[in-house]
Amino acid sequence: MKIATGQPAPDITLPDHAGAQWSLGGQRGTPVVLYFYPKDDTPGCTTQACDIRDHWAEFSELGVPVVGISPDDVDSHAEFVGRYDLPHTLLADTDRAAIDAYGAWGEKTMHGKTYEGVMRSSVVVDGDGQVAAVFDQITPNDQSAKALEAVRKLLG
């Protein structure tokens, strides 16, 4: 990822899975976890989203919103949320504005083939809008542990 700790987090405004506009700037005063993932309802992305769901009580206790971002559209996100009972917000970044701003698009290799796509990654933004932690190339089931550790450290 090209984004680094200590930088101002790029402000983003995108539609959520219900079609409402969500803005990072509107979250000032509390840390936010942003995670980038390739595609709704695929094995790795489902594992990642369900890992957050399964740790939701911990995020809620800390008062920290978790927001997933992918190039899928609002309808796809709404289905994904409903199918897996996801408690967190998913944002539709169909033109990749946020994905590109956070450097979450790049070259990937799978099954011996190289292609470009969304890099599974995560960013913790502090309450002042600064990047507090960046996790490049996370695995689907370590998202929550890494994000929770960074948020707890941030909150002291």
Residues identified as active-site: 45
**How many CB atoms neighbour CB 131 within 10 A?**
20
Q: Among positive and negative, which fits the CA dihedral 56, 138, 31, 148?
A: positive
Q: Report the C-alpha gap between 71 and 40 in whole angstroms.
A: 9
Q: How many whole angstroms from its chain centre is CA 19?
A: 17
Q: Report the C-alpha gap between 80 and 82 in whole angstroms.
A: 5
